[in-house]
Amino acid sequence: MGDPDSEDLEQREGLGQWEQAGGWQELTVDEAAAGERLDRWLSQALGEAVSRSRVQALIRAGAVRCGDAPVTEPKHKVAAGERYALEVPEAAPAEPLPEPIPLDILYEDRDLVVVNKPAGLVVHPAPGNWSGTLVNALLHHCGETLSGIGGVRRPGIVHRLDRDTSGVMVVAKTDLAHRALSEAFADHGRSGDLERAYDALVWGAPDRLSGTIDAPLGRHAQSRTLRAVVPEGRSDARHAVTRYQVKKRFGSDGRGGAFAALVECRLETGRTHQIRVHMAHIGHPLIGDQDYGRAFRTKVNRLPDEVRPTVAAFHRQALHARLLAFRHPVSGELMRFEAPPPADMKALTRALDIL
């Protein structure tokens, strides 16, 4: 992260006063801080300017000194009257390169940006997708307004959507926003105001109009990139809970059930492929899901001629992150964003309406 803002270097009770000294920030230990761990004392002194993990990394890198000697142990205990100097380097350029990829920006301020991600856009660079990602697009869009996440000038990804899932995402622009939003998403809204709602078009329809799927997820037996419902006691099992509500049923399967349904899913946990695996687990995989809905592809052949081409041509999971609500990490304001379904899901819904 770059040099902390002047407002973050004002005197903090019991910690002293930061002073500039040849590119270094210097601070004398007060009596009240004597015996404190160096990393804890420095992170408190810096306030929200630099995270504690970042302070620890700077200490180990030799960027903190007492007098003329570097101190490289974060657990080092400070003594009253000692004078420490800290050099926080400018944010290094991010490894991904900025790319002028169009973005649908729903909201933006100095701390965060909310986007409506289209299907087909990978969120983060990875092997096989080093360019053309949301991160590349945000690096170009945000530019110098990114203050550096963990010392690197980059957008802070706090949650993800699969490549072929569309919808609302929030991305942090500052270290403070990244930490606060990461904590909120890790808590899954249990003690806060985080709310996530997804619209899914599924094969068939659950017998009950609403319900809860509580089934742990782990590695798929045949593929390291896929997930599956696994026994609770397995070493890789992760607690996963999805609440669903049937919003609309389409047609009849000839056995008293619907041919397809529009289902709203709300997450109580945030596991990889959670909605897709859970809906398949209860016998209603997402239309178009090439990984978890393969056994249902032949159902397309039973559709009327005026419906079949649209459904057969839908080659991604029919999943859209429609709603995202959270507390702003700085102002505390409750933020709420909704994005209508994209054109392909609208077309799929219109075709199913014919049933």
**Annotated catalytic residue: which of 162, 175, 199, 344?**
162
Q: CA angle, corner 281, sides to 219 and 288, nearest 5?
A: 90
Which pairing describes strands 334-338 and 241-250: parallel, antiparallel, or unpaired?
Answer: unpaired
Q: What are phi and psi of 185, to 5 degrees?
A: -70, -35
DSSP 226: -
Of 165, 189, 169, nearest to 323 by C-alpha is 169
> Is position 162 annotated as part of the catalytic site?
yes
Helix, strand, or coil (residue 183) = helix
State the Cα–Cα distance between residues 48 and 179, nearest whole angstrom: 10
| Residue 144, number of CB atoms within 10 A of its CB | 7
Gap between the terminal Cα atoms of the chain? 56
Residue listed under structure tokens 């697009």: 137
Helix (H) or strand (E) holding 55: helix 52-60
Q: Please count the helices (runs of H) and the strands (runs of E) in the chain.
A: 7, 19
| Active-site residue set | 162
